[in-house]
Amino acid sequence: MRFNWHFYALALGAGAAALAAARWVPRRWRPAYHGALALGAVPVLGSLAATAYVYDKSTLYRLSWLPAGLLPQGPATLLTVQAGFDEISELLHYQYPAAQVLALDFYDPTRHTEVSIRRARAATRPWPGTLAVGTTALPLATGLAGAAVAFLSAHEIRDETERGAFLRELGRVVLPGAPVIVVEHLRDAVNFLAYTIGFLHFHTRASWLRSFQAAGLRLEQELKITPFISAFILRRYAESA
């Protein structure tokens, strides 16, 4: 609600206006009218309930869904990927204190024009040392990192081909055999029930699989953190190493 309050304000205003207009509805039609208003409130309340569950009540931010031993416990560089709102770097820092967390920010104000992203950037501080990057070439050495985590961010790369190129770069800059982890909502039935047309902001599982293949990344494991969020654990194909 903090970053998308305008949607809820619009819904609340529309609901209040519709409720006020009920006085002009013929008495015999008012039960049906009020029933329609109640049905109209379901998507708004449902999205709030789903969001509260995902971001406040689930294990998403506890990182307990990460398979044991997936990320290096000793000194290593852990790359995180964001598009203006870094939700993962600090968590990884506390979970893996021996590692160096390097945040990559591919936010481009000329392309990522959503007001929610601007609000998120204004409300939060970047992780120290965050590196501004493009999506087609990362200014990092090959095999620099022990893992890369794109946490609820890579969907902001709307073009599938560009997304594949970016993921290929992530695969290049991790060590051979090191994981690339992509955490995302999917454009599927469950997220439609939660967010209605808002689910169009997400990408389909098939689109992600095509991007992974184009990037030369093999899907090793797919996890459901909640019914609404999936985690893809990827590694480079041997011929790409």
pLDDT at 17: 84
pLDDT at 114: 65
pLDDT at 238: 66
Question: Which band of pLDDT confidence, cut at 50, 70 and 90, is reported for residue 241?
Answer: very low
Count of structural domains, the chain = 2
Same-domain check for residues 184 and 92: yes
pLDDT digits (tens, 9 = 90+) for 195-211: 988 899 999 999 999 99
Question: Which band of pLDDT confidence, cut at 50, 70 and 90, is reported for residue 216?
Answer: very high
Same-domain check for residues 211 and 147: yes
d(CA 169, CA 241): 12
Q: What is the mean pLDDT of the chain?
A: 88
C-alpha angle 83-156-173 in degrees, rounded to nearest 5: 65
d(CA 127, CA 96): 15
pLDDT digits (tens, 9 = 90+) for 108-154: 876 665 666 666 666 678 899 999 999 989 999 999 999 999 999 99
Same-domain check for residues 53 and 70: no
* C-alpha distance from residue 144 to each of 29, 98, 196 (Å): 67, 16, 40
pLDDT at 76: 95
pLDDT at 240: 41
> Which residues, in sequence order, are CB contacts of 202 under 8 Å at separation 6+?
155, 184, 185, 186, 187, 191
**pTM of the full structure:** 0.86
Q: Quick one: tokens of 184?
A: 């995302």
d(CA 24, CA 216): 62
Mean pLDDT computed over 85-103:
94
Domain span holding position 31: 5-57
Nearest to 66 by CA among 151, 126, 144: 151
Residue 42 has pLDDT above 90, yes or no: no
Same-domain check for residues 125 and 47: no
d(CA 203, CA 159): 10
Sequence letter at residue 62:
R
